[in-house]
Amino acid sequence: MPRVRALVLLALALAGCDGSKPLIKNEPDKPGPFPAADRPVAHIVSSRWSNEDARDRLREADTVMDRANIRPGMTVADIGAGEGYYTVRLAARVGPEGRVLAEDIMADTRDSLAERVARERLDNVSVRLGEPADPKLPDNSFDRVLMVHMYHEIAQPYEFLWRLFPSLRKDGLVVVVDAKRATRDHGTPPALLKCEFEAVGFEQVAMMEMPSAGGYLATFRAVGPRPEPEAIRPCRMQQGSE
């Protein structure tokens, strides 16, 4: 009888390995739960927030790309690309040997940007629709990931950054440009930004004043290992005060 019982147990164990049932409770594409952000979230008001010519007169994009050390041949993601102010300038900066992936979560905005990319024959640019908590970036693909005046609109920053984490190449950087004000007022206090990134395994590399872009520029690198979602400790509002 003990031998029969052992054979039955072995058969059940093998049945669990036949691929019909997951061996891990949380599938890779459905991790979590993630902690909630202890801060207000700014509403998306428009894909256009100022005239492109006015921004160019301040050398906004050139200054951001210079300080982010974006060079020919790089692969760059433009998250929250909107109408493509940065996308078209990134395409020129990285050149024909580089690549730009422009992502937005609004389907109409994505479509308008795709039309602009086709019209201007930006052959080194691709356009993608992302999700509010997932930028949908391929792993180990980017030298730089830009998020310009959009971080305060992310309602689930821990899940968003957790999913973004593996998309960086070795020595890749996330570049955030935002204003020094509360998230409800379309900005992110620098201390809060640093805290939320560090909670997911990033390390702040630099924090620079950026008056031409309305605030500051911060860069982060993934130092890993990426924490399990349940191990992430959320930042509190007082930790993000300036």
Mean pLDDT value of segment 218-228 = 94
What pLDDT score was predicted for residue 224?
77
Domain ranges of the chain: 54-224
Residue 15 pLDDT: 37
> What residues form DSSP beta bridges with 146?
78, 175
Query: How many residues are there in the chain?
Result: 242
Q: Tell me the two tokens of residue 226.
A: 């990426």
Across residues 60-80, what is the average pLDDT?
97
Domain at 54-224, CATH from 3.30.1600.10, 3.40.50.150, 3.40.720.10, 3.30.390.30: 3.40.50.150
Give me the sheet containing 99-104, strands edge to edge: 125-129, 99-104, 75-79, 142-148, 168-178, 215-222, 202-210
Helix axes 157-164 and 190-199, enclosed angle (nearest 10): 60
Instruction: Tell me which of 10-24, 48-62, 222-236 is least confident.
Output: 10-24
**In the predicted structure, residue 158 carries a pLDDT above the cut 80:** yes
Q: Mean pLDDT over residues 136-141, rounded? A: 96
Question: Do 31 and 230 contact (CB within 8 A), yes or no?
Answer: no
Q: CA-to-CA distance for 229 and 35, rounded, in angstroms?
A: 8
Say what the pTM is. Answer: 0.83
pLDDT at 80: 95
Token pair for 63: 């200054």
